[in-house]
């Protein structure tokens, strides 16, 4: 059996962390994007052209509600606020590869459950100012 060609990461080595508090989330998503500013002009030869404007990093995370790490407490501060601090979404904890937000804003924090299931929690938001994205990986 041949080994995979490439250097892949297993999600089991990921983590969501706020103010050095490891959250017991089961999934997270980070969306790194830039505003598309159109600069098409008469010299564009009939083709659309653009430049990238303001950059943003939006995030979402979800997992089971952990009563010992109440998401409405601060930290982690996963309730509507523009003053969250030190969020890291680790791609891999063994080499500290992470999306890092010194300040973040949380837009929503949602709890849900069913009579036959556990209590789930999800939150989403975005960076509030500067952030870093993984740029070098082994």
- Confidence at 80, pLDDT banded by 50, 70, 90: very high
Task: Establish if 100 belongs to a structural domain.
Answer: yes
Number of folded domains that form the chain = 1
Residue 2 has pLDDT above 80, yes or no: no
Domain holding 16, by residue range, is 11-28+60-127
Query: In whole numbers, what is the pLDDT of the chain averaged over residues?
Result: 94
Task: Establish if 118 belongs to a structural domain.
Answer: yes
Q: Which pLDDT score, from 0 to 100, does residue 137 have? A: 56
SS3 32: strand
Dihedral sign computed on CA atoms, order 14, 18, 19, 21:
negative
pLDDT in tens, 88-138: 999 999 989 999 999 999 999 999 999 999 999 999 999 999 999 998 655
Judge contact between 84 and 128, C-beta under 8 A: yes
**pTM (2 d.p.):** 0.90
Judge contact between 40 and 50, C-beta under 8 A: yes
Task: Establish if 122 belongs to a structural domain.
Answer: yes
Task: Establish if 4 belongs to a structural domain.
Answer: no
Task: Establish if 50 belongs to a structural domain.
Answer: no
pLDDT in tens, 34-55: 999 999 999 999 999 999 999 9
Nearest to 59 by CA among 92, 25, 36: 25
Q: What element of type H or E holds 33?
A: strand 27-38
Q: Which residue has the tokens 């990986």?
A: 137
Q: Which pLDDT score, from 0 to 100, does residue 3 have? A: 74
Task: Establish if 106 belongs to a structural domain.
Answer: yes
N-term to C-term CA, the chain: 24
């Amino acid at each position: 059996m041949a080994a995979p060609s490439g250097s892949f990461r297993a999600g089991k080595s990921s983590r969501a962390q706020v103010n050095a508090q490891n959250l017991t989330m089961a999934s997270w998503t980070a969306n790194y994007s830039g505003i598309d500013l159109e600069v098409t002009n008469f010299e564009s030869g009939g083709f659309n052209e653009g430049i990238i404007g303001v950059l943003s990093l939006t995030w979402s995370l979800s997992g089971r509600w952990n009563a010992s790490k109440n998401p409405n407490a601060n930290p982690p501060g996963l309730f509507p606020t523009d003053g969250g601090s030190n969020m890291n979404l680790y791609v891999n904890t063994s080499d500290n590869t992470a999306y890092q937000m010194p300040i973040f804003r949380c837009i929503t924090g949602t709890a849900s459950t069913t009579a036959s299931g556990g209590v789930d929690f999800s939150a989403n938001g975005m960076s509030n100012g500067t952030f870093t994205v993984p740029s070098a990986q082994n």
